[in-house]
Structure 1
Amino acid sequence: MSRFLRRLSMAAGLALLMWAPAAQTSLRVNPLIVNMAPTAQGSSSVVQLTNVTDADLPLEVTVVKRTVVDGAEADVAADDDFIIFPPQMILKPGQTQTLRIQWVNGAVPATSESYYVYVTQIPAPLNPGMSGVKVSYRFGISVHMVPPGAMPNLQVVGVKAAHDKDGKPGFELTVKNAGTAYARMVEHEMTMGAAVHTWSRDDIKKIIGTGFMLPGQQRTFFVPFEGEAPAPSMLSIGYRGAA
């Protein structure tokens, strides 16, 4: 297992996805993030799903691949890249089901590939004569296929003086992941010049959030800052571990 993949495995237990409160109370998912090293023979992992309600919970599982289209992240169907078992299930109250996720794409990618495995609650049909809206909740499990030796490499490619919607001064920071593995800005810190100013992981979490980037992806973030916007060459971004 590569050094980066070991770091990802340690970080997985700390990461959270934001779901609707009602969805959080219906299904417990562990882990929320899965990192696997792809092999030509296939790779697999398991996730535990637990029904924490007092009613039966019918579920179905689908897979999408996270890609970049015209500079923006987009999801495309990717059910053929995985075998999911079971693909559908009904969890009894309190029941825990093991969900096996097996990657069967075959070729080992040159860069990491990221997916969402969606576990969707199938809404119960309305009784005859009743009207209303059927509600369905969807849980996203992040699955990342990270080839051996793959690492992120965040580079500052642009800085532009700007103001946010409330008129607060700062600059627009354009960052590119020039590495071979996905990156999360929140796991990095940014330094201006010879430690003239440093944005810690906590600072980045507050002003940017997670800042997820696929290999080759470029994103722009607003950074509050008093003073003249720095030149791109004055800013450096370094990995500092799970935030």
Structure 2
Amino acid sequence: MLRICSYFLIYVIVIAPTFAVEVTPMVVTFSPDSRSSNASSLVHNQLPRDIAFDIQIYEIDFSQGTPKLISLDDSPLWVFPPSLFLQPGQSQQLQFRWLDKKLPSTDKSYQVSLIEQPIAKQSINKQSQLTMLLNVNLIVHLDQPRLVPKLTIKEPHVEDGFIVTEVLNEGKGAGRLSDYEIKITKNKTLSDRILKDQLKANGYDVFFAPHSTSVIKVPMPQSLQEGSLNHLRLVLAR
């Protein structure tokens, strides 16, 4: 049975600012047709108490504008182990594999949620204290080399010193802004360019899911700070 959730959250709730449950990496990308794939994340308990998690898997639907989570009772994405118990300072590796014999027709994305469960053996003293149960979420992207994005860039506008536009991905493959060189043109003349990974190095990247629309914001070049901004265009080049 599928249950559609109208929210999409990636968050970590911590009890105190000096303690946390650390997941590295929090975004995993792998090819489902690679038998030698060793996709994994490491979960480390930095809390001063035992912690137990059950794992829930959601498919992420990007097609409706706002991403939605679809809860999967029988997920083709295999996550092992299906539950975790970590004492203070302990770590556990989560492994990811594609189980279905049939490859998906488009690149897929999943949210893997670690949902904390109460521990029955906690001492009475610990049980009497207020304890917030944690939700820790990570993202898994399936990337198939045979599937490619097909991007269409809509009319840009300027907003607070940024060139803002929507990017429509009509392809079956996913992509990222950091995969492309960004060319900024005015009156069909090249005004500036942003190299691949240049924005990502400053902490900014955008994921282009199949059959979805995303918004990108590119810093306005100094050469375009003054004068008319008519006939401004962005071009994404591999």
| Structures share fold, TM-score greater than 0.5 | yes
Distance across 2 between alignment mates of 1:205 and 1:228: 30
1:65 aligns with 2:64: no
1:77 aligns with 2:79: no
Equivalent residue number for residue 84 of structure 2:
89
Q: Which moved more, 1:61-70 or 1:101-110?
A: 101-110
Distance across 1 between alignment mates of 2:18 and 2:152: 36
For structure 1, list consecutive stretches of 5 or more residues without a partner in the other structure.
Answer: 1-16
Q: Sequence identity of aligned pairs in percent?
A: 20
State the 1:131 CA deviation: 8.7
Deviations 1:157-205 (CA, angstroms, capped at 9, x unpaired) = 222x354xxxx36553111224433222244331123431224544577
Distance across 2 between alignment mates of 1:64 and 1:24: 30
Give the 3 Å change call, closer, same or farther, for CA 230–211 of structure 1 in structure 2. farther
**Bigger fraction of residues in helix:** 1
1:32-181 → structure 2 map (5 Å cutoff) = 32-39=26-33, 45-81=39-75, 82-122=77-117, 134-159=131-156, 161-163=157-159, 168=160, 171-181=163-173
Native 8 Å contact 1:190 1:235 kept in 2: yes
Among 163, 179, 185, the residue aligned to 2:177: 185
Native 8 Å contact 1:110 1:147 kept in 2: no
State the 1:63 CA deviation: 0.9
Deviations 1:53-74 (CA, angstroms, capped at 9, x unpaired) = 3321111111111112432221
Report the TM-score, using the length of structure 1 for normalisation.
Answer: 0.69
Deviations 1:186-235 (CA, angstroms, capped at 9, x unpaired) = 443311234312245445776x9322220121123455543544547x42
Native 8 Å contact 2:63 2:212 kept in 1: no
Report the TM-score, using the length of structure 2 for normalisation.
Answer: 0.70
SS at match of 1:84: strand
Equivalent residue number for residue 190 of structure 2:
195
Give the 3 Å change call, closer, same or farther, for CA 86–131 of structure 1 in structure 2. same
1:20-35 → structure 2 map (5 Å cutoff) = 22=16, 25-35=19-29
SS at match of 1:70: coil
For structure 2, list consecutive stretches of 5 or more residues without a partner in the other structure.
Answer: 1-9
Q: Which moved more, 1:50-59 or 1:218-227?
A: 218-227
State the 1:135 CA deviation: 1.9
Give the 3 Å change call, closer, same or farther, for CA 118–20 of structure 1 in structure 2. same
Aligned pairs, number = 215
Distance across 2 between alignment mates of 1:184 and 1:28: 25
State the 1:78 CA deviation: 2.7
